[in-house]
Amino acid sequence: MFEAGGVVSLTIKDILNRAAVESADRTVLRFKKNAVWCTYTYKELRERAWHVSEICATLGVEPGDRVALYRENSPEWLEIYFGIVALGAIAVPVDVKLREQEVGHIFHDCGVSVVFTSARNAEVLEELKTMLPDLRAAVLLDALPQTLPESGKIQYAA
């Protein structure tokens, strides 16, 4: 949070932190996973976003670095986005329906250093690696067995 000319400006990180304090147990997201309704509270979303920030920091991501979200729409997309921007990095959303060449151009033009993606997109990244000199790491979110804990929430592995 910073003040410019008497006006208080909030970053996305500030907004999530404020919501996690003021409305900790309120539902921020409701979704169906494996035919079961699941929810995230503001507090849970912030904790999960922090975990994503920790993964990014472990991979050497610094403020201003570009981190791609090359993934289908999912509940995890939100926490990954918040985790990236909370660290001060720039989130680069990339539609998984784009052709390989289009993905490569976006990654190259943006200078993406890390990507969060699904294991099914690993082959595309492998094909593109020669044209992506800035790409240091890919976090494959569903590379583990497709079993979820009872809570219905994905556990990240760096």
Under the banding of pLDDT at 50, 70 and 90, the label for residue 143 is low
User: Is 89 a domain residue?
Assistant: yes
The pLDDT tens digits for 23-70 are: 999 999 999 988 999 999 999 999 999 999 999 999 999 999 999 999
CATH code, domain with 85:
3.40.50.980
What's the CA dihedral at 42, 45, 47, 50 to 10 degrees?
-130
Interatomic CA distance for residues 98 and 94, integer angstroms: 8
Range of the domain at 130: 48-140
How far are the Cα atoms of 50, 60, 112, 141 from residue 54, in angstroms, in the given order? 6, 10, 18, 15
In a domain, 29, yes or no: no
In this prediction, residue 153 carries a pLDDT of 45
Asked if residue 11 is part of any domain, the answer here is no
Q: Does the structure show a pLDDT above 90 at 8? A: no
Whether 26 maps to a domain, the answer reads no
**Mean of the pLDDT values across residues 69-90?**
94
Is residue 97 situated within a structural domain?
A: yes
pLDDT at 146: 46
**Bridge partner list, 67:** 91, 114
pTM value?
Answer: 0.82
147 within domain boundaries: no
**Mean pLDDT of all residues in 134-151:** 69
Report yes or no on 84 lying in a domain: yes
Residue 106 in any domain: the answer is yes
